[in-house]
Amino acid sequence: DACPTKSVAAQSIEDSVVARMRALGADPRIVLETARKVRERVEASSGELAVELKVAQKDLSRLQSELIKAVATPGNGLRTDRLADLQEQIRAAERRAGEVRAELDALAAETVDEEDLRTALQSFDPVWQSLNTAEQTRLIRAVIDRIGYDGRTGRIAVTFRAAGFKAICAAAGEAAVGLEARV
């Protein structure tokens, strides 16, 4: 009763989302803009991660030097708890550097080629028709990040996942192989 918007049938939203996905392939400006935004996001995130990796590597180098110096200095009364603390800090720095490298690798995998994106978007309808309901659901979840509905205006806002378009390409390849096998 307190909600200012009226409810809407899920099928209406689903139909709108699928129609929007179909329309994407027909507009070359969308392909160019999407590819540009993905590149910008990847470059910005990569830059931030590269700085973080540099800091982690610098910390790791400092900690290793400190450990070597502490062990090599004779008779300094080095306590085992200090050694253990340095070793734990080194493990944490190594772990974080590895995580940052993995994030950089994942970002590199998200890069979307304009031609691949165009092909994926244009092949959406034949692929969509060849998929069963479970496969359609999987594809939508791979491609759609968020769907927002404004009940006051009746508008639906769809936010797509950049890496999800690679799923469309993969699905297009699988569907083509499946269709060839049936013929």
pLDDT tens-place string over residues 154-165: 787 878 776 666
What torsion, rounded to 10 degrees, do the Cα atoms 137, 138, 144, 147 define?
Answer: 30
Q: Which residue did the predictor score with more confidence, 173 or 146?
A: 146
Per-residue confidence (pLDDT) for residue 77, from 0 to 100: 57
Per-residue confidence (pLDDT) for residue 93, from 0 to 100: 92
The model's pLDDT over 12-67, given as tens digits with 9 standing for 90+, comes to: 777 877 787 777 767 788 778 877 877 888 888 899 999 999 999 999 999 999 88
- pTM score, whole prediction: 0.50
CB 46 within 8 A of CB 110: no
Half-sphere exposure of residue 129, counting CA atoms within 13 Å on the CB side? 6
Q: What is the DSSP string of 69-109?
A: HHHHSTTS---HHHHHHHHHHHHHHHHHHHHHHHHHHHHHH
The model's pLDDT over 108-139, given as tens digits with 9 standing for 90+, comes to: 877 777 777 777 777 777 777 888 888 888 87
* pLDDT exceeds 60 at position 78: no
CB 86 within 8 A of CB 68: no
Element (DSSP H or E) covering residue 2: none
Spell out the long-range contacts of 64-67 with Cβ–Cβ below 8 A and sequence spacing 24 or more.
64/90
Per-residue confidence (pLDDT) for residue 177, from 0 to 100: 46
